[in-house]
A and B are shown apart, each in its own frame.
Chain A
Amino acid sequence: MTPLERRYALLGLALIAPTVLILTAVIVYPLLSAIYLSFFSIYTPTLAGKAVGLENYRTILSSAYFWHALWTTFVWTAGTLVLQIGFGVGMALLLNQNILFRSLARSLVLFPYFISTVVAVLVWRWLFNDLYGILNHLLIAAGVIDMPVDWLGSMPNAMVSVITVGAWKFFPFVVIAVLARLQTIPEHLYEAARIDGAGTFSRFTDVTLPQLRDVLSIVILLRIIWDFKEFDLIYLLTGGGPMDNTRTLPLIVYQQAFGLNQMGMAAAYAVAMMVVMLVFMLAYLAYSRDRSTP
């Protein structure tokens, strides 16, 4: 290495050092310390405890509680994801048309995404309330039901409600991403397809969808990650009930750490969650590698 090259190398190190340090402080350190904690049995208020090795993991993997929560998390994630993508793509297609008040509609659609989850959940709980909720009131008035329905306190209603509110809250993200992509599809492609004899449906499947493929796979991956670890919306809406039927893994992590004061156990749950997410990540990486080497 010549002196000049060495100086460049040192400069490079100096320039990336701050980033590496910050990443280490905010990502690597918490990650490692969570894994470390998961080998202990720790009482949260005092943070005192003893090493138990893999005992926490053994407990988790052999408990029906964990597997049920994992299943619940999958149901919630899959359900809300399907609705988010369906509504999101549909709304993006609609907003991409020359409809009346288009820019107003575009701003309004973003509303659920921007209001605070707490506020949104309070409003929805009021709508869902079985005694004075407007939803039951309207449905009874319309003659659809004749008894008030318990939307949040019974199954499968509670899961359906959580999934619906989740879809409502997060579909604007899909709209933004898909709409941005839709606007870059050249109009000429649609015109060429029309001349080639493609109808409305063919134009959607043959021109629009292929162009949306990349953005949709990114959006779906991000939404899976975010929905999988969603906490506040579910916690505030049902608290995990009824009977743990909407208690997803993040809610258990919280419950273990601060309800049962089992910090070590909570860490083990968190690490288990991370492993599941890792599977998604690897699947995605494999998929994107396949695409880039035709």
Chain B
Amino acid sequence: MVNVIFNKVQKAFGSVVAIPDLNLEIGSGEFVSLLGPSGCGKTTTLRMLAGLEQPTGGEIRIGERAVNNVAPGERDIAMVFQSYALYPHMTVGQNIAYPLKKRGVPKSEHPARIKAVADLLQLGPLLERRPKQLSGGQQQRVALGRALVRDPKVFLLDEPLSNLDAKLRAHMRTELIELHRRLGKTMVYVTHDQLEAMTMSTRIAVMHQGHLQQFATPSEIYNRPANTFVASFIGTPSMTLVEAEIEMAEGAAFLLVGGQRFPLPPSLVMADSRHRRPITLGVRPEDISIASGEAARASVKLVEPTGHESIVTLDLGGAHFVMRAAGDVALRLGEAVPIALRIDRLHFFDRESGQRINTDAERPAEFRSIAR
């Protein structure tokens, strides 16, 4: 098992700078997802690690070795492509054997190793078939098999599940988690599906326009997003982001939003005690609810029932909040309902920079253990 380090890595395609400056340290045995919207540089990052793309600056290390000038075949990595890239004229067995053949693994060892992989991925009955005669999920397993057979140091996976239907995708997700647990290999996984990233990863690297936004455990990313981009990108429905202010008066703090004043607990009082500070407030849909007693009132703009829950849009003095409510919630459009915010779960971001400004002390971090 080895770690992977990106040190000041830069990649430009001609005048297009895809990755301006990437620093990332992936621990040994981790399952790290590169997550971000289309075009943010996930694939480019993975391909640089694979050696299929040459960085225009900086250094990439796999374990002790700087690999910038090492050919893909010598890096001791395996990669699963989004398109699977199975060799069409070879049978499944030959596809899986190919990396062994090219690396001069003695022929006598091939059958045992192919069998081990075939057992692991339940490919036994398919070994004589050609890729064309397989379903998408089976092809995907063959691609995995070809990656696994060689026992590489690092696995790279570029959206391997994106061509599968929803049910098979959920199934393969569990299989991959199980596989990672069993092999304990370092894996780097590219996806734009936050559900995949959240469920599978030990840590997620959220990227946007070539910049690393946050690199942390799934729960940290969800509960303590580093900036407004991560906050709005992670979670469905998205976190509500509205303009607000924090006011300090006589040692007490208040949140001003939508013409309302919410008292904040003293623990939230920030060291930086400017009298009034403009912020961007972030509220997850589950952290706003209908209050039981007297409270600030918001009017119901929209109710979207999805079955087990309803997504309600509320208007609080011009600020729109999204609320997760019970599936059978009885709300009329235009009705004014009292609302409550879970003060301890609010997210405050600097209005200008978009960076998180909550102090670290207010809530114990719920780190998900890295060694899953």
Query: Which positions in A face B, CB cutoff 8 Å?
Result: 186, 188-189, 191-199, 202, 206-207, 210-211, 213
Contacts and interface: CB of A to CB of B under 8 A. Distances in A.
B216 to A, nearest CB: 29
Contacts of A210: 87-89
Interface residues on B, range: 20 to 34
Contacts of A191: 50, 52, 72, 79, 81, 85
Given A196-B103, A206-B98, A210-B89, 9 more contacts: A191-B52, A193-B87, A194-B71, A194-B73, A195-B52, A196-B73, A196-B150, A197-B102, A198-B98
Question: 4 smallest A-B Cβ distances: which pairs?
Answer: A197-B73, A197-B102, A188-B85, A210-B89
Interface string B10-36: 000000000000000000000000000
Contacts of B81: 188, 191-192
Contacts of A197: 73-74, 99, 102-103
A189 B89 CA distance: 12
Nearest to B74: A197
B146 interface: yes
Contacts of A193: 87, 98, 102
Interface of B: 50-52, 71-74, 77-79, 81, 83, 85, 87-89, 98-99, 102-103, 146, 150
A195 B72 contact: yes
A207 B98 CA distance: 12
A196 B76 CA distance: 9
Given A192-B81, A195-B50, A197-B99, A207 B72 contact: no
A198 B83 contact: no
Contact of A198 (B79, B85, B88, B102): B102
18 contacts: A188-B85, A189-B85, A191-B50, A191-B52, A191-B79, A191-B81, A193-B87, A194-B51, A194-B71, A195-B72, A196-B73, A196-B98, A197-B103, A198-B102, A199-B73, A206-B98, A207-B87, A213-B89
B85 A192 contact: yes
Nearest to B158: A188
A177 B245 CA distance: 69
B52 A194 contact: yes
A192 B102 contact: no
Nearest to B147: A195
Contacts of B103: 196-197
Nearest to B104: A197
